[in-house]
Structure formats: C-alpha cells, structure tokens
Amino acid sequence: MLVRWKLAIEYNGLPFNGWQSQKDKSGVQDFLSEAIKNFSNESVKIFAAGRTDSGVHALGQVVHFELKRKTDENELREALNSHLKPHPIAILSVEKVDNEFHARFSAIKRHYQYKIINRRAPLTLDKGRYWRVGKPLNIKGMIESSRDLIGNHNFTTFRSTHCQSKSPIKTIDSIQIQQDGLEISISISAKSFLHNQVRSIAGSLKLVGEGKWNEKKIKEILNKEDRTLCGPVAPPEGLYLMKVDY
C-alpha cells in the first residue's frame, strides 16, 4: 500500500543547479531522490511547492511523494537526513498525509524573502547569503514604491522571458520591507509567482532605493507591461523560499 508523505525541507542553494532534477544530477531534487532510494530501495516521483533557481535558498520548501515501505515520521526524517550528508539539505519535518494533498496544487500561499546587505565592504562569512549593495538605500522610498505592486496586476514587466506560466496576471498579497542594521529584507507573499518575479521586483526596488528611479517609476513600468523596462534582476543568492501555507 502506498503512503503519501509531506516533507518540509531547508537547503543552501549555492552548490545546486536549482531545485529541479537535472541531467547531471545536480538539482536538490536529485539528491533527495537518491536519499529516498537509498532508504527504501524505491524510485519515487517528487512534487514540490515551487521550483527554486540555481543559487536560491529554502527555509521551508515543501514536497510530497509516495512510498511502499512501512516507516514512521521519525524514522523517515532521520534516515533521509543521514543519507543526505554531507550536502547542505535538511529534512525539518515529516508528516503522513492523505491522497488529496499535493505539495504544489494544495498550497494557498507562498512566502519569499529577499535579503540585502547594505555595506561597502565585501562579504566574507555571509558571502552567498545576501546581495551586497554598496550604495546607501532609501528604505522609505522603496516601501512607498512597493505599495503599487500589491494586489492583482499584469506582471509582464517583472516576468522572465523564460517563464512558462500561462498568464502574467498574479495577485501579491503583501510586501514588507524592513531594515535591521545593515540588513534589508523584502518579504513578499502570494498564492503563486511568475519565474524571476521576486528577483525582478527586488532589482527594481534597489534602483528606487539608490535614487536612480523616483518613487513613481515602479507603478509606471508595471502599467506599461514591458519586460525591457524592468530593472536588473537581483542575484539568486539573496532569495529564500521561507514558507508555504496549506
């Protein structure tokens, strides 16, 4: 009898070629699949709440798969964490779910955070975990501009040309920008996102913060629905999939 399992996963995205399985087995999904097979001797199909790009981190990625092998939550969590060593992937929790649950389609909200370190000096200990921006940023201006992105809009301007979504129309539920010392965080929540949407928004808001764009520029380029008007896409290492709600 097949049992469906739900996992919450944390990983450092730097060593991996994104979440999705790759031909050279360099995706996070490949390492998880191998760990599951080493434990259960079964090849399973894994479904994830979202596909993170190369270099993007996760504190709360959610997946599901089905196993024939009899096990329990504790054994499965401990076994997979053991088989995943030494890779920077950790199974945070394991839960048995019914067959109606789907990691992607059952999700009602996804929470991402983009992290910036606002300092001139290069990063050492935090390298690969933040986007270092040397020029001081005007947080008030960034907050004011971000309000124009909340709600239901055509986000063509902030959509990757490689995006496979059927429609550019998405609804952003909230954007919160906070500063704690040198760290600036941009937290964005929505049911679903377009490819590179959060990084495109972060890159454009950075231009507002630097004073290169005025506070009305974000609304202007959003309404023009033109990808070429978007600011530079922020680098992947500052992006985190924080949590998925069901």
Q: CA 124 → CA 117, 121, 139, 184, 235, distances in Å?
A: 12, 9, 24, 18, 17
Instruction: Kindly list the structural domains of the chain, giving each domain's residue range(s) and its CATH number in brackets, ordered by start.
Output: 3-97 (3.30.70.580), 109-245 (3.30.70.660)
Q: CA 1 → CA 48, 66, 67, 88, distances in Å?
A: 22, 10, 8, 32
Q: Confidence band (pLDDT; 50, 70, 90) for 235? A: very high
Instruction: Report the pLDDT value the prediction gives residue 231, as an integer from 0 to 100.
Output: 96
| Cα dihedral 71, 74, 78, 81 in deg (nearest 10) | 90
Q: Confidence band (pLDDT; 50, 70, 90) for 8? A: very high
Instruction: Report the pLDDT value the prediction gives residue 239, as an integer from 0 to 100.
Output: 98
Query: How much is the mean pLDDT over the chain?
Result: 97
Q: Confidence band (pLDDT; 50, 70, 90) for 197? A: very high
Instruction: Report the pLDDT value the prediction gives residue 221, as an integer from 0 to 100.
Output: 98
Q: Confidence band (pLDDT; 50, 70, 90) for 102? A: very high
Instruction: Report the pLDDT value the prediction gives residue 191, as an integer from 0 to 100.
Output: 97
Buried b (16+ CB within 10 A) or exposed e, 38-70: ebbeeebebbbbbbbbbbbbbbbbbbbbebeee
Q: Is 152 exposed, middle or buried (0-12, 13-18, 19+ CB in 10 A)?
A: exposed
The rounded percent of the chain whose pLDDT value lies above 90 is: 98
pTM of the predicted model, to two decimals? 0.95
Active site residues: 53
CB under 8 Å to 166, separation ≥6 — which residues? none
CA 37 from centroid of its chain's CA atoms: 26
Which residue from 88, 100, 101 is spatially nearest to 7, judged by alpha carbons? 101
Residue pLDDT, tens place only, 162-193: 888 999 999 999 999 999 999 999 999 999 99
